[in-house]
Amino acid sequence: MTAYEARVKRVNDAVARKEPDRVPLIPHAYLYATDAAGYTVADITYDAEKGIDAIIKFVKEFEPDDATRYYSNMGKGPVLELMEPKTVVWPGAPDGRIDKDSMHQFIEFAVLQDEEMDYFSRDFSGWLLRKGFPRVSKIMEPFATFNTSAMIVNSDVSQLASIFSRPDMRKTIETMWKINEMNQALGAQLAKGRERLAELGFPTFTGSGGGGGVPFDSYSNFFRGTLDAMADMYDNRQLIVDFCDQRLELTLENVRNSGKANQGKWVSFMLHKGMDSFMTPEQYDNLYWKYLKQVIEEVVKSGMVAYVFTEGPYNKRLDRLAEIEAKENVIYHFEEVDMAEAKRKLSGVACIAGGFPVYLLHHGKKQQVIDECKRLLDICAPGGGYIFETGSVFGKAPVENVEAMFETVKEYGKYK
């Protein structure tokens, strides 16, 4: 068996809730890898080859069971400059608003405004084109005046042609062509990077896209913002329900389409607003879990693995996570949870991962890292169904702590 095949089997056995030869180790280490290779986050944001080089150096040194995944904005700096987003700032951007070693930062505001609720419900596509896109991207501002209400639908599209031929609209369309071409080239570059990693014996489990996600997170993150979404759960609840119902159908369709090209791959999606205390139990059940459960089950039904990254504390949601009917190919990653309770409640349902606090890697002593690794392994490893992952991404950690984590898991986490 090759090293690549051994790693694939090790991880797949854990996902199937079996005991492999040892606990798989997949740290979220791309920022550490970037720094260790001598690059800044800005460097890899503008040059994907530097990011791939950093990951190759990292996997050669530490030999994880997955190629540590990619930074989501690796190589996207030039594309972001063309898009001119109003909701994101990124390292290396011309405005220099954040440090070159910072991850990108999301700027949240209410894109959907109170007075537009009826328009949003009645004509979502029209609102998105004329209101939504122009507010989140500068290059889309010409569409704010895109008005076809006075046009007559017939075989003569001259009026429409005149709109698209305006200088500002032509510039937007030409820029869109460039963005698409650059994204396609970047996708091919990253695919070659994954091929190089595979040749070195390191698989990459995450597929391209997948369409996974929770409708409420879309509503809160991209349309209303956190504070207004919280108020809407009381003041505009029916609007949220209608949006989530419609978005769910689109999400499930995207999942099914993705499954045609990503059989066996992991569909990763983050749970932003489902954490403890953000919602009441009733709100979580009816505005969040009701939809999340269906998405998870559709991912599995479509032949993929649902990799569910829970952000923040998730102790109060474990009973709901245990209700999924898929019973296979589901991974729950935890950033902050009682891992003993997660193991007890989910061991017959899903593979669990995460739980290791990154602050120990950054600020703890070597022995503290070793002790915490062993504590988690004692709790989670028995019976299988566990992947050792850091709770979240880590960066400039002392090398002796990272070495201690790898050495402890690889030795103490053996089953045979």
Q: Which amino acid is at 100?
A: K
Q: Which amino acid is at 76?
A: K
pTM of the model: 0.94
Q: Using CA atoms, how far apart are residues 30 and 41, in angstroms rounded to an integer?
A: 10
pLDDT for 33 beyond 90: yes
Q: Using CA atoms, how far apart are residues 354 and 334, in angstroms rounded to an integer?
A: 5
As given in the structure block, the two tokens for residue 246 are 């419609």
Judging by DSSP bridges, how do beta strands 105-106 and 351-354 pair with one another? unpaired
Altogether, the residues listed in the chain come to a count of 416
DSSP structure class, residue 208: S
Of the candidate ranges 199-203, 278-282, 325-329, the one whose mean pLDDT is the lowest: 325-329
pLDDT for 205 beyond 70: yes
DSSP structure class, residue 130: I
What is the domain partition of the chain in residue ranges? Answer: 3-29+64-69+204-412
Task: Tell which residue, 64, 25, 23, has the closest CA to residue 415.
Answer: 23
Percent of the chain with pLDDT strictly greater than 90: 86
pLDDT at site 146? 86
Q: Using CA atoms, how far apart are residues 334 and 392, in angstroms rounded to an integer?
A: 9
Whether the Cβ atoms of residue 304 and residue 210 lie closer than 8 Å to each other: yes
Q: Using CA atoms, how far apart are residues 67 and 201, in angstroms rounded to an integer?
A: 9
Task: Tell which residue, 194, 202, 192, has the closest CA to residue 3.
Answer: 202
Q: Using CA atoms, how far apart are residues 166 and 173, in angstroms rounded to an integer?
A: 11
**Residues 353-398: tens digit of each pLDDT:** 999 999 999 999 999 999 999 999 999 999 999 999 999 999 999 9
Q: Within its chain, how far is the Cα of 174 from the centroid? A: 29
Work out the end-to-end distance of the chain between its first and last CA atoms, rounded to an integer number of angstroms.
17
Whether the Cβ atoms of residue 380 and residue 386 lie closer than 8 Å to each other: yes
pLDDT for 2 beyond 60: yes
**Residues 288-340: tens digit of each pLDDT:** 999 999 999 999 999 999 999 999 999 999 999 999 988 889 999 999 999 99
Class of domain 3-29+64-69+204-412: alpha beta
Which strand ranges, in their side-by-side order, compose the sheet holding 266-271?
Answer: 266-271, 305-313, 330-336, 351-354, 386-387
Q: Using CA atoms, how far apart are residues 110 and 225, in angstroms rounded to an integer?
A: 5
Residues ≥6 apart with Cβ < 8 Å to 386: 14, 23, 343, 351, 352, 353, 380
DSSP structure class, residue 244: H
Q: Residue 151: which pLDDT band, with cuts at 50, 70 and 90?
A: low
Give the number of other Cβ atoms within 10 Å of residue 115's Cβ.
7
Q: Residue 68: which pLDDT band, with cuts at 50, 70 and 90?
A: confident
The DSSP code sequence of 54-66 is HHHHHHHHH--SS
pLDDT at site 240? 96
Whether the Cβ atoms of residue 132 and residue 142 lie closer than 8 Å to each other: no
pLDDT for 126 beyond 80: yes
